[in-house]
């Protein structure tokens, strides 16, 4: 049976046990996807029934996320002093730089997320993909003063050489891989990358968009997930995350319930490590 050759099988119940900083056993981070789309071309998540281009309704709903939704979300994050990771399309710097400025002012971490979510790496040859990754890293370094350490591909898409290209470009961790609830080491042709868990069934795209969960049901599931992960983390360390898209969660009827989740995280601050993925990857480098 074909294997990717990136990591071996490992049963979580049979691994060495270690702690997160401060003795915590559950690390939690919030990732905000800052995405930009060209008008009437390329890919884009259809929030309502897609129409022939120019599909002004779907374009406008995604654009609403950067004009309105992200500011609503920032207010909710600030209410409970929740740290965040900004998964940024570099086109954000051109289309709406004020959004990047707002996350920079919070000292949030910036993570490479491609140029735009109108394209995906799995459609690229190796040279094109390598150039795109290098361009994104250089642009974030130019804007933020330091290069990004982490990467999450647009549409969470990869080619067979993506981990190799990321390591060669200077990235130290990747969030595309969905195989574990702990960081793991991913072999590349130039060393290794740390994987930080990101995709999970409770993220907002599969629940609010694909499955059409009501916002109150989604928030209840997130709180249940936090509590059960806290319980399980007594046996082994875990990572739990919230993946948020402003064009989904920025709407008031959803944001009201997301505030409940943020309030729950705030109340549990002493029992978990509320952090950013770069800190998770850095700690994992020392213990796995």
| Domain assignment of residue 95, yes or no | yes
| Domain assignment of residue 237, yes or no | yes
Place of tokens 């919030």: 30
Domain count, the chain: 1
| Domain assignment of residue 163, yes or no | yes
The C-alpha atoms of residue 276 and residue 266 are separated, in whole angstroms, by 15
| Domain assignment of residue 67, yes or no | no
* 31 φ, ψ (degrees, to nearest 5): -110, 125
Closest CA to 53 of 38, 64, 36: 38
Rg from Cα positions in the chain: 18
E strand or H helix at 1, and its extent? none
Domain that holds residue 250: 19-37+77-287
Q: Work out the angle at residue 198's Cα, subtended by the Cα atoms of residues 194 and 201, and round it to the nearest 5 degrees.
A: 145
Give the CB-side neighbour count of residue 272, counting CA atoms within 13 A.
Answer: 27
Which positions of the chain have pLDDT values less than 70?
none
Residues 6 or more apart from 127 whose CB is under 8 A from it? none
| Domain assignment of residue 53, yes or no | no
| Domain assignment of residue 60, yes or no | no
| Domain assignment of residue 188, yes or no | yes
CATH of the domain at 25: 3.20.20.370
* 10 φ, ψ (degrees, to nearest 5): -150, 120
Closest CA to 213 of 201, 225, 195: 201
Give the rounded distance of the alpha carbon of 15 from its chain centre.
26
Q: Are strands 184-188 and 191-195 parallel, antiparallel or unpaired?
A: antiparallel
| Domain assignment of residue 65, yes or no | no
SS (H, E, C) 32-101: EEECCCCCCCCCCCCCCCCCCCCCHHHHHHHHHHHHHHHHHHHHHHHHCCCCCEEEECCCHHHHCHHHHH
């Amino acid at each position: 049976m074909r294997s990717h050759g990136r990591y071996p099988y490992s049963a979580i119940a049979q691994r060495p046990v270690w702690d997160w900083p401060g003795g915590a056993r559950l690390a939690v981070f919030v990732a905000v996807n800052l995405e930009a789309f060209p008008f009437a071309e390329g890919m884009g998540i259809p929030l309502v029934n897609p129409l022939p281009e120019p599909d002004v309704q779907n374009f406008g709903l995604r654009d609403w996320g950067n004009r309105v939704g992200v500011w609503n979300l920032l207010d909710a994050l600030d209410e409970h002093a929740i740290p965040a990771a900004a998964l940024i399309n570099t086109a954000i710097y051109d289309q709406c730089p004020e959004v990047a400025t707002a996350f920079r002012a919070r000292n949030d971490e910036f993570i490479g997320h491609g140029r735009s979510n109108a394209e995906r790496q799995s459609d690229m040859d190796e040279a094109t993909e390598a150039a795109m990754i290098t361009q994104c890293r250089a642009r974030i370094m130019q804007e933020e003063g330091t290069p990004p350490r982490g990467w999450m591909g647009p549409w969470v898409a990869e080619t067979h050489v993506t981990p190799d290209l990321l390591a060669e470009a200077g990235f130290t961790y990747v969030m595309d891989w969905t195989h574990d609830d702990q960081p793991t080491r991913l072999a590349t042709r130039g060393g290794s990358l740390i994987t930080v868990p990101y995709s999970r069934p409770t993220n907002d795209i599969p629940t609010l968009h694909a499955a059409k969960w009501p916002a109150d049901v989604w928030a209840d599931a997130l709180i249940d997930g936090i509590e059960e992960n806290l319980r399980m983390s007594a046996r082994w360390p875990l990572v739990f995350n919230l993946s948020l898209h402003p064009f989904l969660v920025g709407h008031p009827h959803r944001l009201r319930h997301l505030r409940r989740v943020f309030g729950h995280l705030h109340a549990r601050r002493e029992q978990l490590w509320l952090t950013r993925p770069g800190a998770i990857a850095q700690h994992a480098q020392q213990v796995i």
